[in-house]
């Protein structure tokens, strides 16, 4: 993978070391969860990719409307929109891969255009420009992101990672309901009381 990352406002040494640890983890360990799919290179394909990523995150324990789900869904929306708008080649799909590691989530969007590589810049587009802010959003939301050549074929992969913190894995108030069991009452996590 490309070692270049976007410029960030995060400068404390602790963040830099944590970013390096997350990078090593995502590159050397098998993911806890993985989702990958090809989509038609169209606005409809980009919408479907965004919705499926959000759904998959929800099934992995990052609920709809939560910070992690909303952030990674927005990042996916920007990357897939760019793949359709700037990476489209007639008759070719774009690919999305979502992985979860112990401390991070990573989304990769791959298209088949090699010559249109986004610039890794933190400069804002002119005020009257109609486009060009999508990767600024990605840079602002992601812990780190970069562009790499597509492995084994022409094209490129734009990826973004979101580091998970302890509070993103806080348990839900209700773990499960026993729909067909003998006990129809909810099971509460230890230390949480049911409100009767």
Residue 49 contacts residue 80 (beta carbons within 8 Å) = yes
Lookup result for tokens 């360990």 = 29
The dihedral sign for the CA sequence 6, 12, 18, 21: positive
- pLDDT tens-digit map of 103-160: 999 999 999 998 766 655 555 554 544 455 788 999 999 999 999 999 899 999 999 9
Q: Which is nearest to 57 in space by CA: 24, 35, 40?
A: 35
Question: Is 139 buried (19+), middle (13-18) or exposed (0-12) by CB count in 10 A?
Answer: buried
The dihedral sign for the CA sequence 100, 57, 145, 19: negative
Residue 87 contacts residue 41 (beta carbons within 8 Å) = yes
Would the pTM of this model clear 0.75, i.e. be above it?
Answer: no
């Amino acid at each position: 993978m490309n070692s270049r990352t976007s410029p960030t406002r995060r400068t404390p040494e602790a963040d830099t070391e944590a970013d390096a640890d997350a990078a090593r983890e995502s590159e050397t360990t098998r993911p806890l969860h993985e989702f990958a799919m090809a989509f038609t290179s169209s606005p409809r394909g980009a919408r479907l990719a965004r919705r499926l990523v959000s759904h998959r995150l929800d099934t992995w324990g990052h609920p709809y409307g939560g910070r992690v789900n909303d952030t990674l869904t927005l990042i996916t929306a920007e990357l897939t929109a760019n793949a359709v708008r700037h990476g489209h080649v007639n008759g070719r799909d774009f690919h999305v891969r979502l992985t979860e590691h112990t401390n991070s989530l990573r989304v990769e969007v791959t298209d088949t255009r090699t010559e249109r590589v986004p610039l890794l810049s933190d400069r804002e587009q002119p005020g009257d420009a109609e486009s060009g802010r999508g990767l600024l959003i990605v840079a602002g939301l992601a812990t780190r992101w970069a562009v790499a050549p597509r492995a084994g074929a022409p094209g490129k992969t734009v990826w973004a990672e979101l580091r998970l913190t302890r509070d993103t894995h806080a348990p839900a108030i209700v773990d499960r309901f026993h729909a067909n069991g003998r006990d129809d009452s909810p099971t509460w996590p230890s230390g949480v009381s049911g409100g009767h």
